[in-house]
Amino acid sequence: MMKTKITIIGGGFAGLNLSKHLAGKEEFDVTLVDMNNYHLFPPLLYQVATGFLDVSNIAYPFRKFFHGKANVHFRLGKLQKVMPEDNKVLLSTGELAFDYLVLATGTEPNYFGIENIRRTALPMKTADDAIEIRNYMLQKMEEVTIELDEIRRKKLFSVVIAGGGPTGVEIAGMLAEMRKRILHRDYPELTGLQPRIHLVDSASALLGAMSVQSQKYTYEVLLKMGVEIHLNTQVKNYINDTVIFSDGKTLETQILLWTAGVTGKIFEGLPQECYGRGNRLLVNEYNKVSGTGNIYAIGDSCLLTSDKNFPQGHPQLAQVALQQGKNLAANLVAVIRNQPLTPFAYNDKGSLAIIGRNKAVADFPKPALHLEGFMAWGIWLFVHLFSLVTYRNRFMTLANWAVAFFTKDQSLRMIIRPRADQQSSRNE
């Protein structure tokens, strides 16, 4: 039997779930391609960035997932070009042929074309980003302790978080808790000094995608924790350690965290007409990219408008990606068996955001229900713990959370940074 070659680009929630549902189906020869050799659980990245979890708690090597799954292979590489006419992709590590191609490449930070921000702000989309934030902030804290100049000290000692979505809210809350519980124990030199935490969003509320009750509660809790919230405000530029806002105000800081938006990736080889709003790939109800015959897109990178409950497309959430991966697996089986296909319909299970210790918000659609505070916090912990992909991840994360909860502290505040000079000399 000639096997059908499926090439999946990207091993996030969508791509990995698709592979999982194709594993063991002997009609298919599946190759999962990713720039990293591991799957990552991004909802907990902010805990890596603040030193509460290790990357290894929320990451897992693809090759270990595929132990014993003879029809699924892993290939390290970055997509360079799609060649639809040849049924091939060009990767940074060579060519790969396919019968069906699935793009599950997710998104990248949207800097809205502001080059200064792209170059110097700290994004938080990848494991590398989170480690870089941790290293950078710890480094800046060490600099504060020996800085005598008042103006330079102020720059080092304030954080601006651009973007009031879940990531921005979560990191603002975490930093406020650390300021309260850890700062002066770690840095007794700084007793009496308080860094400032600014959270900025262009909309008129935080957590734009959630219920008004959740927005209100989050705003009030963060305010009480001492976070300075700037709504209806955009970050327009970042020049010489100065953040410039849309209303002309400015703020001096050396730490600008960027969670202000995402955009799809553009690949050579696909015509401009394939892309919609936010560079998302336009797909039909079966996730097939418009204008192509055997190319699909799933997860954050696609825009599917045929779901009657989501005529503007789906929110870019893990649940959508997981469900699209599973649905496409079933449809690919149906395609080669000449069976009817199932259009994608998102089953909204609700949304959650954590603000701090014992504080979170949750909105559920059916039955419509809003929760806040301790109960929502418990649900958040439970859902995130059990969404981790392996028992090992869950166990280690739980152990780290237990340490953090009972000690009100954690001890992962290490600046660990393989030397750039060494790497480059070895890779000459």
- In the complex, the residues that contact its own copies under the rule CB under 8 A are 36-38, 54-56, 59-61, 63-64, 67-68, 70, 73, 75-76, 93-94, 119-120, 122, 127-128, 131-132, 135-136, 138, 142, 145-146, 185-189, 390, 392, 395-396, 399, 403, 409, 411-420, 422-426
**Tokens 């992909």 — which residue?**
389
Shortest distance, position 131 Cβ to its own copies, whole Å: 5
Whichever of 337 and 419 has its CB closer to its own copies, that residue is: 419
Beta-strand ranges (E) seen in 187-241 are: 196-200, 228-230, 235-239
Q: What are phi and psi of 62, to 5 degrees?
A: -55, -40
Shortest distance, position 159 Cβ to its own copies, whole Å: 15
| Tokens linked to 49 | 């960035």
Whichever of 151 and 416 has its CB closer to its own copies, that residue is: 416
Angle between helix axes 374-387 and 391-407 (nearest 10 degrees) is 150
Per the CB < 8 A criterion, the answer to whether 103 and 296 are in contact is yes
Whichever of 134 and 314 has its CB closer to its own copies, that residue is: 134
Shortest distance, position 182 Cβ to its own copies, whole Å: 9
Whichever of 60 and 219 has its CB closer to its own copies, that residue is: 60
CA distances from 180 to 47, 192, 384 (A): 17, 12, 25
Whichever of 143 and 228 has its CB closer to its own copies, that residue is: 143
Shortest distance, position 222 Cβ to its own copies, whole Å: 27
Handedness of CA 96, 100, 284, 311 (dihedral sign): negative
Alpha helices in 352-427 (DSSP H): 374-387, 391-407, 420-426
Shortest distance, position 20 Cβ to its own copies, whole Å: 17
Rounded CA-CA distance 165/202 in Å is 11
The torsion defined by the Cα of 28, 29, 33 and 37, in degrees rounded to 10, comes to 110
Q: What are phi and psi of 250, to 5 degrees?
A: -135, 160
Residues 6+ apart with CB under 8 A from 315: 209
Shortest distance, position 193 Cβ to its own copies, whole Å: 16
Region class of 166: left (phi > 0), else alpha (psi between -120 and 50), else beta:
alpha
Whichever of 66 and 275 has its CB closer to its own copies, that residue is: 66
Shortest distance, position 245 Cβ to its own copies, whole Å: 22
Whichever of 115 and 273 has its CB closer to its own copies, that residue is: 115
> Of 10, 280, 210, 8, whose CA–CA distance to 126 is shortest?
10
| Tokens linked to 126 | 């990848």
Whichever of 70 and 223 has its CB closer to its own copies, that residue is: 70
Whichever of 178 and 328 has its CB closer to its own copies, that residue is: 178
> Of 65, 18, 19, whose CA–CA distance to 38 is shortest?
65
**CB count in 10 Å sphere of residue 108:** 16
Shortest distance, position 91 Cβ to its own copies, whole Å: 9
Shortest distance, position 5 Cβ to its own copies, whole Å: 16
